[in-house]
């Protein structure tokens, strides 16, 4: 199988093994960095630059949609349904990826979100299958098979590796142990 694939890219480290696996199958990969969920802006810039560095070093084109960095839109999308926030977060990013893939006449779309062991893999898979009804085939692969390879290679390349998923909620969850520790020590 071959063709032009639009790969939604959440970050540089997740792109490494994913791009390798797609290329091994003969696909021509174009990345798309479109992640309005990332908080704060400085973290967005750091991840964007890491994705650009990854693209440059691996030699694939990366479309960057800074103009669509809109954390307020993300917050509106998840407000009052925070328990299901990941679905809405995936939906807002991947539905745009499908639109861009369609406009660019890509043969298929997929996402590095399918690489992470920390994401809701089956939810992403089902959502992408539904979005494919928009006219661009969804290329499903279980990129988690390249998990260890991606970690090792991104470390070897010195690509910035983030400490939390992306949104404000995930940042709080990542560091709340430290908040508790501070509270305990001051009480």
| Interface residue list for ligand SF4 (CB under 6 A) | 37, 85-86, 89, 165-167, 169-170
Nearest approach in angstroms of CB 126 to ligand SF4 is: 15
Q: CB of 184: closest distance to ligand SF4 in angstroms?
A: 26
Omega prior to 112 cis, within 30 of 0: no
Strand order through the sheet with 27-33: 61-64, 27-33, 3-8, 108-111
The length of the chain in residues reads: 187
Compute the least distance from the CB of residue 142 to ligand SF4, in Å: 18
* 151 or 168: CB nearest ligand SF4: 168
CB of 85 to ligand SF4, least distance (A): 4
Of 141, 162, 140, 142, nearest to 151 (Cα)?
Answer: 162
Q: Which is nearer to ligand SF4, 48 or 85 (CB)?
A: 85
User: What is the bridge-based pairing of β-strands 3-8 and 108-111?
Assistant: parallel
Nearer to ligand SF4, 30 or 93 (CB): 93
- Residue 109: count of CB within 10 angstroms of its CB: 27
> Which pair of structure tokens corresponds to residue 131?
């979005």
Nearer to ligand SF4, 139 or 167 (CB): 167
């Amino acid at each position: 199988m071959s063709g032009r694939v639009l790969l939604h890219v959440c970050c540089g480290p997740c792109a490494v093994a994913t791009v390798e696996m797609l290329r091994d199958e003969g696909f021509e990969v174009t990345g798309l960095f479109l992640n309005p969920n990332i908080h704060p802006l400085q973290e967005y810039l750091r991840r964007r630059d890491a994705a650009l560095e990854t693209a440059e070093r691996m030699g694939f084109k990366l479309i960057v949609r800074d103009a669509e960095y809109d954390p307020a839109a993300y917050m509106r999308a998840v407000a009052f349904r925070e328990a299901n926030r990941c679905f809405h977060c995936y939906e807002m990013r991947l539905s745009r990826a499908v639109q861009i893939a369609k406009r660019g006449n890509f043969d298929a779309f997929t996402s590095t979100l399918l690489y992470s062991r920390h994401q809701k893999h089956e939810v992403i898979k089902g959502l992408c299958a539904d979005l494919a009804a928009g006219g661009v085939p969804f290329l499903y692969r279980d990129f988690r098979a390249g998990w260890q390879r991606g970690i090792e290679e991104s470390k070897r390349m010195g690509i910035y590796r983030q400490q939390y998923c992306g949104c404000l909620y995930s940042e709080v969850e990542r560091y709340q142990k430290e908040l508790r520790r501070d509270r305990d020590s001051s009480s």
